Structure 1
């Protein structure tokens, strides 16, 4: 493997704040490196030094000759007055040139550039849309190294999934800073942790890093008890998760697993539900025959949805589908166009919005938390204001910092601490992972594990939704709320197959009534007697087996379709090979359409 970027003993400071000291690193062809660490530890600075955007104070950085490098950081800007098409497709002189390239077409569609409009002035776009345009402009190029800083922040779950698949398919080196743990685990083969002015290197993605960090703490006994216990709990979650998440255990997994032998489930769901019912009663928030629009966009159309005590719900959907508006409706901030919203008498509701709230700038961190309350009970645990502030990353010295001097990530953490100090029993979180580092996310999840209330989360962070929520619902864009028993995997599968919005499939899309409990729905389904119009239980079992078989075939065909696109791109100078590949591609697409039709017909038999 060729060495692409090399650093030798680099150091960097800003004023009297030292970020990096004596850091030596190497990046080779094919490396996919995830960079993690606390907010403010120097992750972005490291990326900018590697990319040549910022020079180090001392040390040396060298790049391979004629290195083709793309950089998309949080400082990336676009030329004012330029069109979206000019910014993204600057290297193409005619539309047919990029339209003939399946890789470029995939980028334009996958990042939603086509929906923004090629003639749109970039100065009229939102910050998130500008970041997507900047990302697309770099990805369309032929590259050796891609440097990305928080690329998933402005993408929905489907966009994050597309970006992961795109980066895995490209044979380029990747250095990425992200707090999206699913993205780290899926894409990265190495992990760098920026800590204590240096960079610790690990093999594998997020799961391997968690194992390695816990093992290092066990051997060296240098990590405080709080972090070690958090690592143990996180390991237990990873160990019980789908396919044990870690790909190749390199750091004495047997020893690491000994740490989690006596760790219970992350949360006792039965106990929390019972506690929540005592605090909330039977009624939490009920939407009865509700219709809701955001401008001319329909969000709900005659939907009935009952959210019960102790439920932990994740809401997903593409950007612009109305997730935030739905959350505001649940919270009582907006009124439905039609229908009624009922809220239980004992409900104490708190909502975390995406925008940073106005905080008392002259107050110190601890004072700002104590302004809400001095003590709080979260389930069986009781915290002082100082203890909860520490859980969210404010050490004893940092608690006396004035709020006006906090960074954006620190303000977000303070916002969360103040929210929990109000001791709500219904918590609505809108993109809670924005500006939070991985350690703080672990602390938030640990607090939520023992929090006995109703939780509704809107997030593009797949790991958080799977970790903190018990059920997932989607806004498919047809005015319904769709329960997804298979979680985010089911959501992505549906989106990938382009299931018609009103089509009745295994998750209940198109239903006008959505209850708050998946278990109640399943029990009700089992109690329904078979009739002449409804398939028998045996027929439904056979249909489910057929669905699974068809889904596997669809995955195979989709994979072959991607391979053919890549082979077509590589056979541009061989007309005979092009014709052969094009014929096979048409055959694959035809079979894929047939299998999709069979899947939809079979799904009609499954309730």
Structure 2
């Protein structure tokens, strides 16, 4: 059945239209994701479709008998306990409690909703919505479930469970999400908001990327054809008879304007983050933890204990484990923002540590964006404007108060301020929350070439796969056990039951005073490399391909510009040929490793 039909939706804001002429029809079984750059209007569109915001133009019709269950970014909770908020009282309470348990809320059921953190409130709102929908298959085909960033503040196990739950939903699903695994495994269509227009792509995340690339290539081809036609028209007109009529002159002016017109500007001027240059050199000693443990009071339980860790100058480490295990607390210890309850922290003299965490921006929402970047002791100047443009803040956004920025734009501003300090040790605590997909891909490319040490806490599986070589497991069973091979090796070990950190195989709490011994999986067959090692090689090969592609594009652009002298142009031509040969070899290596991984 048709749950919702929208036609010609248009929403404006004071500076410019947010989006216009957006059409969407949702039926039972449709699972649609809305994607786009931060500030493109994704959350606003969801609120329009649920009826919370009235559009400037357009029509919205809901199917007969259809009902909407929504969770937006304003996670308001009713007064009372978490148990009452999710409906875990009276008949059928067991179903709501089961959802709460999968989202890690069982310890919070008797807490007052007003005492919860933002992340906890997010999980409660999601649990309430899922409980209201009911069990999959039980009359939920008339329900449109609307979720705005539902994976924020969930751990990896909860996200995997949510994937299955959403895939089993028989009604309609409309969501904003940056989680690429969820997009690829759950959605049947993707609605992209791009420069004020909506584009619908059939399929999941991979299909969306292919269709988007085809659209960009088609637009470039159409632009070339248009300009060539206009040039030919202008040349023909100028070769005409000397006695021009006013009509001929008007055609000349029109053709000239067409030739000189510029195509629509890209959504973002650049696909690279700045600030790699000037990163201070990092010595051999970075940050070391010796027997570190922490708890919040002398009688309370230990979050972690016996953690020994020495960061390498080129560290690529992920911290993984369930919510509440102490990952963010461990990041605070590494950063020097928290003294551990026991153990020693040794920090190298050259270590410049910066943290990009979940706390968000702590600034006056009335301050202008440019003034926040300039700081309290000077006025904003051209250098601040250039830096903001590099992080995709246009002139309007630079003059806007921070309070008017979207959640993703505020997170991007926070990232700018973190990187501007030029650290050589970067600690990222849930960096993907509220960032758009394009920013995530650019951030991953940036971290590939990051010259310092990197520690990442994230529930985003794609980010972990791209950025870390090893993981440090923090959970009830294992405190601070380092596993080589990154996220893929850890997940493989959990699935096969070969790690002590696997759910359901917890070690006794009394043994938490010492780090757990490393365990190795069963030996791989002689004809195969271990999965963790293979994943690391594949990631290195992928990084080599991207670096060579960037070098090839730089040389191609320099040759096309033709601004160098003859000798320099010849040298660049030789460099380009060598780079293309290296790129072909790197692509062959990547393909061989990818085929081995598939086998």
**Distance of 1:78 and 1:226 partners within structure 2:** 36
Deviations 1:510-565 (A, max 9, x none): 97279xxxxxx99xx9xxxxxxxxxxx9x8457999x99xxxxxxxxxxxxxxxxx
How far off is 1:32 after superposition?
0.9
How far off is 1:66 after superposition?
0.8
Out of 284, 287, 290, the position equivalent to 2:286 is 284
After TM superposition, the structure 1 = structure 2 runs for residues 384-395 of structure 1, keeping only pairs within 5 Å, are 386-395=385-394
- Does the 8 Å CA contact 1:331/1:349 hold for their aligned counterparts? yes
- Does the 8 Å CA contact 1:482/1:510 hold for their aligned counterparts? no
**Distance of 2:403 and 2:66 partners within structure 1:** 42
Question: Which residue of 2 is the match for residue 155 of structure 1?
Answer: 154
**Distance of 2:457 and 2:293 partners within structure 1:** 20
Question: Which residue of 1 is the match for residue 338 of structure 2?
Answer: 334
Q: 1:486 to 1:105 in 2, by over 3 A?
A: farther
- Does the 8 Å CA contact 1:280/1:347 hold for their aligned counterparts? yes
Question: Which residue of 2 is the match for residue 85 of structure 1?
Answer: 83
Deviations 1:349-399 (A, max 9, x none): 11223223444778754554455999xxxxxxxx96555422322125533
2:466 counterpart SS class: helix
Question: Which residue of 2 is the match for residue 349 of structure 1?
Answer: 353
Question: Which residue of 2 is the match for residue 45 of structure 1?
Answer: 44
Question: Which residue of 2 is the match for residue 512 of structure 1?
Answer: 515
Question: Which residue of 2 is the match for residue 129 of structure 1?
Answer: 120
Q: 1:314 to 1:48 in 2, by over 3 A?
A: same
Q: 1:113 to 1:353 in 2, by over 3 A?
A: closer
Out of 281, 290, 309, the position equivalent to 1:305 is 309
After TM superposition, the structure 1 = structure 2 runs for residues 74-473 of structure 1, keeping only pairs within 5 Å, are 74-81=73-80, 83-89=81-87, 93-94=90-91, 97-99=92-94, 106-117=98-109, 119-140=110-131, 141-142=133-134, 143=140, 144-221=143-220, 230=271, 279-295=281-297, 296-359=300-363, 365-366=369-370, 368-369=372-373, 386-401=385-400, 403=402, 406-473=405-472
Aligned residues: 463
Deviations 1:41-69 (A, max 9, x none): 22122212222233333322112111133
How far off is 1:202 after superposition?
0.7
- Does the 8 Å CA contact 2:103/2:123 hold for their aligned counterparts? yes
How far off is 1:228 after superposition?
9.4
Unaligned 5+ segments in structure 2 are 135-139, 221-262, 496-501, 532-599
Question: Which residue of 2 is the match for residue 579 of structure 1?
Answer: none
**Distance of 1:474 and 1:510 partners within structure 2:** 15
1:279 counterpart SS class: coil
TM-score (norm 1): 0.67
Q: 1:169 to 1:373 in 2, by over 3 A?
A: farther
**Distance of 1:438 and 1:541 partners within structure 2:** 36
1:168 counterpart SS class: helix
**Distance of 1:202 and 1:174 partners within structure 2:** 15
Question: Which residue of 2 is the match for residue 243 of structure 1?
Answer: none
- Does the 8 Å CA contact 2:180/2:205 hold for their aligned counterparts? yes
How far off is 1:500 after superposition?
2.1
Deviations 1:255-291 (A, max 9, x none): xxxxxxxxxxxxxxxxx9xx99x92232111112223
**Distance of 1:452 and 1:476 partners within structure 2:** 30
Q: 1:422 to 1:77 in 2, by over 3 A?
A: closer
**Distance of 1:175 and 1:402 partners within structure 2:** 30
Unaligned 5+ segments in structure 1 are 234-271, 375-382, 504-508, 515-520, 526-536, 549-607
How far off is 1:331 after superposition?
1.1
1:436 counterpart SS class: coil
**Distance of 2:314 and 2:453 partners within structure 1:** 4
**Distance of 1:225 and 1:18 partners within structure 2:** 17
**Distance of 1:405 and 1:309 partners within structure 2:** 39
- Does the 8 Å CA contact 2:3/2:28 hold for their aligned counterparts? yes
How far off is 1:404 after superposition?
6.1
Q: 1:464 to 1:294 in 2, by over 3 A?
A: farther
Q: 1:173 to 1:492 in 2, by over 3 A?
A: farther
1:217 counterpart SS class: helix
Please report the RMSD computed on the Cα atoms of aligned residues, expressed in angstroms. Answer: 3.8
